[in-house]
Structure 1
Amino acid sequence: MPAKVVVIGSLNMDLVTRAPRLPRGGETLIGQSFSTIPGGKGANQAVAAARLGAQVSMVGCVGSDAYGQQLREGLLAEGIDCQAVGVVDGSSGVALIVVDDNSQNAIVIVAGANGALSPDVLDNADAVLQGADVIICQLEVPDITVGHALKRARELGKIVILNPAPASHALPAEWYAWIDYLVPNESEAAVLSGVAVDSLQTAAAAATQLMSAGVGKVIVTLGAQGLMFANGASCEHFPAPQVKALDTTAAGDTFVGGFAAALAAGKNEVEAIRFGQVAAALSVTRAGAQPSIPTLQEVQAFTS
C-alpha cells in the first residue's frame, strides 16, 4: 500500500495574472493573461504528495460557492481522500497572484472558508489522522487549529512537518517540541528566528536559532540556492538542481509534499530532501501552482 500522508490546511482558488513587473503602490498595469487555478498551500502540498507516490488525505474546508466544488473535484481527480474536507456557507479561500517577467510573484490571500477549519473539525477527522504516517500543517488556517493538529499528531507518534507559511509572527513556544521538521523559506526563517537571512551563513544561523527553541530539525529553503538542513549536530547546504525558472509559485509546496511522500515511503532524510528538491525544481519550469507539480515518474526520469 502507498505511504499515507495527511495534509491539514488551506484550499484556495488562485486568481493569477501575468504582468511585465509587479505594480507599485497606486499604479495600474496592463496584464498579459489571467487564469483561475486550484491552489492553497495545504491543497498544493496534498497534490504534490499524491503525484509523488503517496496515499493522501486532505483535512480542510471549502465554501459553498463554485470555487469550493472545483477545489474538491480537483483533489478527488488526483486520488486524494476528501472525506475530511468540509463545505461551509460562504466563499472559498482565494489567492490573488501577480507573476512578473522574472518569474517573481506577489500574493494576497483571503482566507474565506479556511477560517472555519477549527479544532472541532480536526477532532471529527481523528480517524484520518490515526491512519497517517506523516502529518503536514501550514499557517493559512487558524493558529489554534494548527496548534491542536501539531499536538495531536505528536500524541499519535506521527512524523510531523510544519511549513510556517505565511509567517507574520513568532510561533507559540510550545509548538516547537511537537514538530519533527520545520520547513520555512528565507523570509519565514527570519521572522521566526530574528536572524536576517541573506546568505548561506545566516540561513545556518537562523536554523540553529530555531533548533534551540526545541524543534526536531529545520530545513530552510533558499530558492535557487537550494536549502540549509540543520539536525542539531550540524548544518548542511544542499544546492538546488539547475533549471530555467518560469514561475516559482508552489515550488515550496512541491518540496514539502515531495519530502513528506519520500519520508513516508521509507527514504532517509537526505534521500527525501534530494527527492523534494528535484520535484520543486521541475515545478518552477512550468506555470501555475498545482498544474506545475510533477509526477513521480517525471522526478525519476530527471534523476536517472
Structure 2
Amino acid sequence: MISVFGSANMDLVAYVSEAPKRGETVTGHRFRTVPGGKGANQAIAAARAGAHVAFLGAVGDDGFGAEMRATLVEAAVDVRGLRQVPGPSGIAHIVVDDGGGNSIIVVPGANGTVNGPSGEDLAAIARSEALLLQLELPMAAVVAAAQAAQVSGVPVVLTPAPAQPLPDELLDAVTVIVPNEHEAAAITGVTDPETALGALLERVPEAVITLGSEGALYGARQGRRLRVPAVKVEAVDTTAAGDTFVGALAVARAEGQDMAGALAFASTAAALSVQREGASTSMPTRHEIENALP
C-alpha cells in the first residue's frame, strides 16, 4: 500500500491563448472545474498505475469537498483517512495557455486545518510501502508525517512544491526528493540541474529533478547518476505532469523495479498525462502506461 498525506483542491481552470501579464485582462476561451490538489493527484496517479492507495487529508463541507471525495473513490483510492471539516475546501486557480504551460494560485481552505496526522493516519503510514508528501499542507503536519514514516521504516517521497524553505527535520526523514528544475533551484540556490542535484544529495539520500521536455535527472548519495530522456509528445496541458510522474515512480519502486525502469515508467506516465486536459482527469491507467513504454 502507498499512503499519500496531502492536499485535495478543486482546480478552477481557465484556458487562454496567452496568460495575462500583471495588470492585463485577457479573454479566455474555456473554463472547467476539475478535482485536483497535489496530494489527491498523486493518490489518483498511483492508484491508476496499479497500487492500493490510502489518501490522508481534509476537505470542506461544501460541494467541492463532496465532489473530490467521489473522484477519489471512483479512482479506487481508500478515503477512510479523508476527514471533512467545516468551511470551504481548498481550491487552485489555474491558467493554461495554448502552449500547454500553466500558472497556479492555491487557496488552502480545509487543507490548512490539517495540523498533523491523526492516530488512524499514523497506523496507515506504518502499514505502507511508501509515503508521498507535498507542501500544500502546513509544514508542521508534513514534518510530523515524515518523521512517523521514518520511525516505522517507511520510505518518504517528497515533492517540494510549492517551493519554500525546507527544515532539516523534514529532510532528515526524506528518502527521495522530487523537485522540478525551478524548485531545485529555489531549494539549492543554483540553476544548473546537475549542480543542484549534487547539492540536494548533500541533504537527502536520493533525488530526482524533473526537467519537463528534457526528461529527468536521478542521483543517489552513493554515487549512481542517471539521465532519462522525456517521451516526445505534443503537450496539451502540463498541470498534472509532475504529480503523475511521482505517483507512477512510487508504484514502480514499491514493486521493486530498478531505478532506470522506475524512471522510464514514471516518464511514460507523465508523457501520457500532458496529452490530456485537466489534472486527475489526465492520468493514465497501468495498461496505458505499459502499452506506451519505449
Normalised TM-score (structure 1):
0.94
Tell me which residue corresponds to 2:140: 144
Mapping of residues 123-134 of structure 1, within 5 Å: 123-134=119-130
Deviating more after overlay: 235-244 vs 285-294: 235-244
Distance 2:237 2:20 in 1: 17
1:124 Cα deviation after fit: 3.6
1:88 Cα deviation after fit: 0.4
Cα deviation, 1:29-83, whole Å, max 9, x if unaligned, reads: 1110000000000000000000000000000000010000000111011111111
Distance 2:256 2:284 in 1: 20
Distance 2:104 2:47 in 1: 25
1:291 Cα deviation after fit: 0.7
Tell me which residue corresponds to 1:73: 70
1:22–1:99: 8 Å Cα contact kept in structure 2?
Answer: yes
Tell me which residue corresponds to 1:186: 181
Distance 1:139 1:206 in 2: 20
Tell me which residue corresponds to 1:229: 218
Q: Percent of aligned pairs with the same residue?
A: 42
May I ask how many residue pairs the two structures share in their alignment? 293
Tell me which residue corresponds to 2:29: 32
1:250 Cα deviation after fit: 0.5
Mapping of residues 4-19 of structure 1, within 5 Å: 4-19=1-16
Tell me which residue corresponds to 1:162: 158
Cα deviation, 1:149-175, whole Å, max 9, x if unaligned, reads: 11111111011100001113x210222
1:123 Cα deviation after fit: 3.3
1:288 Cα deviation after fit: 0.6
1:236 Cα deviation after fit: 2.2
Cα deviation, 1:208-250, whole Å, max 9, x if unaligned, reads: 011112x010100000000111112043211111111111011
Distance 1:148 1:204 in 2: 30
Which of 99, 102, 114 pairs up with 2:96? Answer: 99
Mapping of residues 188-227 of structure 1, within 5 Å: 188-196=183-191, 202-213=192-203, 215-227=204-216
One-letter identity of the residue aligned with 1:134: A
Tell me which residue corresponds to 1:135: 131
One-letter identity of the residue aligned with 1:164: P
Which of 52, 60, 63 pairs up with 1:63? Answer: 60
1:177 Cα deviation after fit: 2.2
Which segments of 5 or more consecutive residues in structure 2 lack a partner in the other structure?
none
1:133–1:158: 8 Å Cα contact kept in structure 2?
Answer: yes
> Structure 1: which 4+ aligned runs deviate by more than 3 Å?
121-124
Tell me which residue corresponds to 1:256: 246
Normalised TM-score (structure 2):
0.97
1:303 Cα deviation after fit: 1.9
- Secondary structure of 1:218's counterpart equals strand
Are 1:301 and 2:271 counterparts? Answer: no
Distance 2:169 2:278 in 1: 35
Tell me which residue corresponds to 1:110: 107
Deviating more after overlay: 76-85 vs 267-276: 267-276
Which of 33, 51, 57 pairs up with 2:48? Answer: 51
1:48–1:253: 8 Å Cα contact kept in structure 2?
Answer: yes
1:204–1:235: 8 Å Cα contact kept in structure 2?
Answer: no
1:264 Cα deviation after fit: 1.4
Which of 84, 96, 110 pairs up with 2:81? Answer: 84
Tell me which residue corresponds to 2:170: 175
Distance 2:235 2:24 in 1: 27
Distance 1:83 1:172 in 2: 30
1:127 Cα deviation after fit: 1.6
1:59–1:122: 8 Å Cα contact kept in structure 2?
Answer: no
Distance 1:266 1:12 in 2: 31
2:122–2:145: 8 Å Cα contact kept in structure 1?
Answer: no
